[in-house]
């Protein structure tokens, strides 16, 4: 239960925000919304609002959906003429398929957009009220015969950049090394007021993270410490906090894309890809450290959900946006038969991904 409750809270919040993004743009452009569901399966409880939307919580809390008025295949334009015959002119105005292409695109993209906005808001809150660390990353020790020593790192070097990404804090170093997808990691350091570029080839060793979960670590062989033991942790004003929040979302997004790209090319560590079981486990572990680590994790999960949904895979929001791109180029929607073919491919890809992630989750639990 210590894992399940935090997981359910996290999923409900992130999914609600995602679906509300769809709902917001649908209402903005006059599309009728009949259902707003958190979860799938049988309804646990719900209520109707004054516009006729059924808001409900269902048994399986692993997603959600917004159902639009007249929904048969809400994102398909191929059967538009057939659908219009079923409704009078007033009801036709509430149909998704009658809306201009840009409005349909915004309604579909609204979910991922809302996830990115949620992450920015969480980071903004943290940086303004809890603060952000800006302690310089000073090397206190270089381990003998380590990759760092081979590359020429020395005690008291200050790490400025890793793979051309600025190191703002001592906390950034391990994160940037872990997220790097290159065999050789580029370090820019400051030594006696001179900037030096060093190339380090990390060792890959089996280990555990701060929560005790098994991971493959990239080790360079350095220990860091604050200069003169002075910690520089400060609260930011609204403008600076917003800039730092957007930068963090951008960094996580681009790093995630690079990591996924490395897995496709075979150079990345696919064993770290997890599904709901691993998310549940980690969310429970993080929740034990307090509310700030938990909402930070919520921000990262929200970014992941928004990003994955933008992939051009049918059944995901990005797949529908791909169809709209074809519609814009061709001047007409793809045929129903073509769309159904794409959806079969999308279903196969998603099921394969779910199987692989679940296998990793069970392996992480020691069941394989």
Residue ranges per structural domain of the chain: 4-129+300-364, 132-234
Residues 176, 32: Cα–Cα separation, whole Å: 45
Residue of 19, 43, 93, 195 with catalytic role: 19
Q: Is 244 a catalytic residue?
A: no
pLDDT band at 367 (very low <50, low <70, confident <90, very high): very low
Helices (H) and strands (E) in the chain, counts: 11, 12
140 alpha carbon, distance to own chain's centre? 34
pLDDT band at 205 (very low <50, low <70, confident <90, very high): confident
Q: Is the pLDDT of residue 318 over 90?
A: yes
Higher pLDDT, 23 or 218: 23
| Mean pLDDT across 149-173 | 92
Of 249, 225, 244, 223, the closest CA to residue 168 belongs to: 244
Residues 91, 69: Cα–Cα separation, whole Å: 9
Are 218 and 178 contacting, i.e. CB atoms less than 8 angstroms apart?
yes
Higher pLDDT, 84 or 171: 171
How far, CA to CA in Å, does 344 sit from each of 182, 337, 350, 358?
Answer: 34, 11, 10, 21
Residue range 132-234, CATH number = 2.30.42.10
Q: Is the pLDDT of residue 211 over 60?
A: no
What is the pLDDT, as a whole number, of residue 74?
45
Higher pLDDT, 90 or 250: 250
Of 153, 164, 251, 137, the closest CA to residue 202 belongs to: 153
Highest mean pLDDT out of 83-87, 190-194, 202-206, 271-275: 190-194
Q: Go through the chain and tell me how many residues it has.
A: 368
Residue that has been written with the tokens 């549940």 in this structure? 280
């Amino acid at each position: 239960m210590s894992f399940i409750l935090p997981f359910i809270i996290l999923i409900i919040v992130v999914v609600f925000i995602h679906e509300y993004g769809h709902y917001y743009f649908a209402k903005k452009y006059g599309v009728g919304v009949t259902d707003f569901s958190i979860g799938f399966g049988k309804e646990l409880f719900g209520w109707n609002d004054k516009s006729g939307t059924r808001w409900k919580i269902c048994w399986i809390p692993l997603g959600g959906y917004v159902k639009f008025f007249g929904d048969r295949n809400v994102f398909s334009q191929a059967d538009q003429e057939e659908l219009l015959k079923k409704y009078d002119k007033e009801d036709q105005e509430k149909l998704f398929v009658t809306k201009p292409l840009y409005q349909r695109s915004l309604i579909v993209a609204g979910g991922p957009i809302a996830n990115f906005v949620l992450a920015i808001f969480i980071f903004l809150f943290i940086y303004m009220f809890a603060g952000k660390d800006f302690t310089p990353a000073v090397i206190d020790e270089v381990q003998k015969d380590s990759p760092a020593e081979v590359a020429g790192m020395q005690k008291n070097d200050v790490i400025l950049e890793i793979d051309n990404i600025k190191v703002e804090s001592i906390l950034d170093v391990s994160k940037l090394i872990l997220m790097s997808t290159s065999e050789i990691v580029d370090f820019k350091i400051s030594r006696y007021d001179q900037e030096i570029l060093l190339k380090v080839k990390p060792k890959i060793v089996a280990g555990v993270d701060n929560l005790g979960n098994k991971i493959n670590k990239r080790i360079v062989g350095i220990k860091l410490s604050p200069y003169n033991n002075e910690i520089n942790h400060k609260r930011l004003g609204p403008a600076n906090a917003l800039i730092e929040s957007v930068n963090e979302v951008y960094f996580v997004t681009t790093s995630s894309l690079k990591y996924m790209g490395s897995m496709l090319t075979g150079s990345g560590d696919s064993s770290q890809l997890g599904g709901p079981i691993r998310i549940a486990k980690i969310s429970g572990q993080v929740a034990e450290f307090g509310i700030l680590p938990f909402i930070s994790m919520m921000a990262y999960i929200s970014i992941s959900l928004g990003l994955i949904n933008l992939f051009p895979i049918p059944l995901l929001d990005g797949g529908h946006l791909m169809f709209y791109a074809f519609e814009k180029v061709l001047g007409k929607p793809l045929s129903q038969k073509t769309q159904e073919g794409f959806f079969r491919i999308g279903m196969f890809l998603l099921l394969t991904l779910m199987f692989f992630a679940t296998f990793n989750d069970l392996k992480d639990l020691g069941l394989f």
